[in-house]
Copies of this chain bind each other. A is one copy, B any other.
């Protein structure tokens, strides 16, 4: 076998991205080193040149997920000024991410996260609370501009927003894609927006 040699920083990225993909493609399998290696095109043992352990790869996946989620926030912030469009866009993008990157919900509902020592749960908790904080900011800005009712508790709104996305992800993932997530959005979004708009 003639496998090209590549520098560690490149390999690390490949490995993490592949791991996330593999995870998404095998909804019913534990994530094995062998499978990641195969996807990258390396021998299993080679991965250990770039990560101390399987666990370290899992942590890196969490980082990748954080990046993907937060980039959505930045994008919608820049794409428009008004809260309605921002939130609506964020919702759509979030769903799109979950739909295309099967690996993300898979990771959120996995033993990698729940079945191991605290560390990863904490990491994910911070990712989510940080994400919520960003939504709170968007709501606040919307209130400042008079687009959202003043008597709405921004945290309540943010959590409610999250409450649209998360159960949808759960049901969609659980039903293997049969759950109609678009219909869900079509019903839930207007309901949500009617409730908080000025």
Residues of A within 8 A of B (CB): 27-30, 106, 108-111, 113-118, 121-122, 124-125, 128-129, 152-153, 155-157, 159-160, 162-164, 166-167, 170-171, 173-176, 179, 184, 187-188, 191-192, 194-195
Return the contact of A191 from the options B109, B153, B167 (Cβ within 8 A).
B153
Quickly give the copy total for this chain: 2
B118 touches A110 (CB 8 A): no
Q: Which residue of B lies closest to A192 (CB)?
A: B160
Residue of B114, B156, B166, B192 near A166 (CB, 8 A) is: B166
**How many Å lie between the Cα of A106 and that of B114 in the bound state?**
7
B156 pairs with A187, CB closer than 8 A: yes
Q: Using Cβ atoms and an 8 Å threshold, which residues of chain B touch A192? A: 160
Decide: A118 near B174, CB < 8 A? Known: A160-B191, A167-B162. Answer: no
CB distance from A121 to the nearest CB of B (A): 5
A176:B110 contact, CB within 8 angstroms: no
24 A–B pairs (Cβ distance < 8 Å), ordered by A = A28-B114, A28-B116, A28-B117, A30-B115, A109-B109, A110-B111, A111-B115, A121-B174, A121-B176, A124-B174, A125-B174, A125-B175, A128-B174, A129-B171, A153-B191, A155-B187, A159-B187, A160-B191, A160-B192, A162-B167, A163-B164, A166-B170, A191-B195, A194-B195
Q: Are A118 and B176 in contact (CB under 8 A)?
A: yes
Across the two chains, which residue of chain B brings its CB closest to A29? B115
- Are B188 and A159 in touch, CB under 8 angstroms? yes
**Inter-chain contacts of A156 with B (CB < 8 A):** 187-188, 191
Q: How far in angstroms is the closest Cβ of chain B from A52?
A: 20
